[in-house]
Structure formats: C-alpha cells, structure tokens
Amino acid sequence: MAKFLTTLETSAKIEKIIREAKEELTLITPYLKLTQIFFDRLKDADNRNVRTKLVYGKEELNPDDLERLKELKNLELNFCENLHAKCYFNENLMVITSLNLHEFSQTNNREMGVQIKLKEDTKLFNDAKNE
C-alpha cells in the first residue's frame, strides 16, 4: 500500500532506492545538483554495475556536476526540456515526490512524497514506471 513521506523520509527513501538497486535505477528530476552523499551513493551503485538512467530538465548541469557524473560508467544521462515530474525508482521501490535532487531543495524546502512498493502495489508501480 502506498505510504506518505515527509521531507526527511523522502530524502531517506531516495537514498535507500539508490543503495538497494541491484540491476537498474531511474532518477527523474527537473533540477539536479547532487549532494556529496547522493553522488557517493550513485558511485557505489555504479561499482555494483547498476544501470542508471538520470533524466533532468529545466537547466543545464553545471560543468563540475557534469564532470563528476561522467565518471559513472553505467550512467545514461538525458535532458528533457519540459520535465516537471520527480520520480525515483529501482526494481522494487519507487518514490513520487515534489523533491528535486538538488541540495537546496533537500535542506531548505518542505517537501512530500509517496512511496510505492512493487510487491504491494504492482499495477500502480508499473503504471508509473511506464509513464
């Protein structure tokens, strides 16, 4: 059953999604400025050979972030100009949220999200994944 998440819970669940990804990971966020913790988690996933798709929009990445992301050999990076959705998922767990993967949002904004587990809400999980 879907579960409501507060700002801190949302951030923690996104970290868990990255940490527990076994084969694939998708991160969809209009604004992207990774904290060091989230970048380290992505690097760990990359070392586990997790195929990661990162979709961002609204603004180009700053050169430093782009260079760091280029270090990840299993990363597919896509720009989507009209993107407004924020959705993060691995094979089993998904969070749909108002939270961007941006250090400002994670520390200064009041955000919320909804957690969806594949085993508990298979249709909802797959509908969102296929969108």
pLDDT in tens, 55-107: 999 777 888 889 999 999 999 999 998 999 999 999 999 999 999 988 766 66
Q: What is the span of the domain harbouring residue 28?
A: 3-130
Token duo for residue 26: 């998708």
How many structural domains comprise the chain?
1
The answer to whether the CB of 65 falls within 8 A of the CB of 35 is no
pLDDT in tens, 16-53: 999 999 999 999 999 988 888 989 999 999 999 999 99
Percent of the chain's residues with pLDDT above 70: 97
pTM: 0.94
What is the Cα–Cα distance from 2 to 128, expressed in whole angstroms? 13
Q: Which residues have C-beta within 8 Å of that of residue 107, sequence separation ≥ 6?
A: none
The CATH number that applies at residue 12 is: 3.30.870.10
